[in-house]
């Protein structure tokens, strides 16, 4: 559970600061907005993280992040046939409490677990305002046929390796994916560019390298994309809907262009109504593990 919370908190921090990047001369005067990071995955309960956005020039610290959590909201999820009100929980992470909303264990008759090919709606009521979003957990259409490794290109550190997958995409455009990797006992981290469509590979079987998923706030270094000999690597490959793809495509572009004076301002595409930042995303997840020998 803590691993899931840690990676979600990292995504939430990106939302807290990156989504405020806009062309404006009064950035400090923008009132805080509700920031939503909500997910539901096949076989898993929903997880919803709520916070207030921080000013563009605000200092970022564990204390400011902890103080930004929204704890007085009402959060509901529906699968079309029943609705469940989520309960607030806390977890101790890095010396402070993180807060999130998930299944109320006292109301399991209405509890909702993610299923493939199902639609879900999210409703949040906070400070007299209502926010809504919808997502779908699609079918799994990107199949992992095999996973293997090969030595890193010449000139890199000898014990580094490239992770490779052979995969097959189902015929028909409109398949979107997001991937994560876990190295040994680390949490799952998304790739630096973690979302892809099927415009080029529709209906084909292909082989492609998989970059190591990384926490966004570490110094990545030159060889960040490689794995090490002796690693146990787990790949999490998820089919996602178009709205989830668009959110992370624009979010990751915005992240990668921070500090680039020649980049254009990017609008991060949210699927939350009511003026909130963030997204509600459904994930159709599959897993594959490989042990890389020493």
- pLDDT digits 0-9 by tens, 193-226: 999 999 999 999 999 999 999 987 767 888 899 9
pLDDT at 1 over 90: no
Give, in order, the Cα–Cα distances in Å from 177 to each of 64, 102, 199, 232: 33, 24, 12, 23
Predicted pLDDT of residue 65: 79
Token pair listed for 251: 């979010």
Q: How many CB atoms lie within 10 A of CB 10?
A: 16
Token pair listed for 122: 């999210």
Predicted pLDDT of residue 28: 54
d(CA 229, CA 10): 27
d(CA 227, CA 182): 10
Say which residue the tokens 């409703």 belong to: 123
**Which residues make up the CATH 2.60.40 domain(s) of the chain?**
142-239+286-291
pLDDT at 56 over 80: no
Phi, psi of 277, rounded to the nearest 5 degrees: -100, 155
Question: Right CATH number for 142-239+286-291 from 1.10.3210, 3.30.470, 2.60.40, 3.30.450?
Answer: 2.60.40
Predicted pLDDT of residue 199: 96
Q: What is the pLDDT of residues 264-275, one digit of tens each?
A: 567 899 999 999
Mean pLDDT of 229-246: 98
d(CA 212, CA 233): 9
Mean pLDDT of 219-242: 94
pLDDT at 258 over 70: no
Give, in order, the Cα–Cα distances in Å from 115 to each of 59, 120, 121: 40, 10, 13
pLDDT at 263 over 70: no
């Amino acid at each position: 559970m803590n691993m899931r919370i840690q990676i979600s908190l990292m995504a939430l921090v990106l939302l807290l600061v990156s989504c405020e990047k806009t062309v404006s001369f009064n950035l400090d005067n923008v009132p805080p907005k509700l920031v939503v990071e909500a997910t539901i995955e096949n076989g898993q309960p929903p997880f919803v993280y709520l916070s207030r956005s921080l000013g563009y020039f605000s200092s970022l610290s564990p204390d400011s992040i902890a103080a930004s959590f929204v704890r007085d909201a009402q959060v509901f999820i529906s699968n079309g046939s029943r609705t469940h009100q989520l309960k607030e929980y806390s977890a101790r992470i890095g010396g402070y409490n993180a807060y999130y909303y998930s299944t109320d264990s006292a109301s399991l008759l209405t509890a909702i677990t993610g299923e493939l090919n199902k639609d879900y709606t999210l409703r949040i009521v906070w400070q007299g305002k209502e926010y809504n979003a919808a997502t779908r957990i699609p079918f799994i259409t990107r199949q992992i046929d095999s996973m293997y490794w090969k030595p890193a290109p010449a000139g890199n550190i000898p014990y580094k390796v490239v992770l490779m997958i052979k995969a097959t995409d189902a015929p028909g455009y409109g398949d979107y994916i997001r991937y994560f990797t876990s190295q040994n006992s680390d949490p799952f981290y998304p790739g630096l560019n973690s979302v892809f469509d099927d415009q080029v590979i529709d209906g084909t079987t292909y082989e492609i390298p998989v970059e190591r998923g990384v926490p966004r706030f570490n110094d990545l270094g030159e060889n960040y994309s490689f794995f090490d000999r002796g690693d146990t690597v787990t790949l999490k490959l998820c089919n996602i809907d178009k709205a989830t793809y668009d959110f992370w495509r624009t979010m990751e572009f915005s992240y990668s262009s921070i500090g680039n004076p020649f980049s254009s301002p990017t609008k991060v595409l949210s699927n939350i109504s009511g003026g909130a930042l963030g997204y509600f995303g459904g994930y159709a997840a599959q897993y594959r593990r490989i042990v890389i020998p020493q």
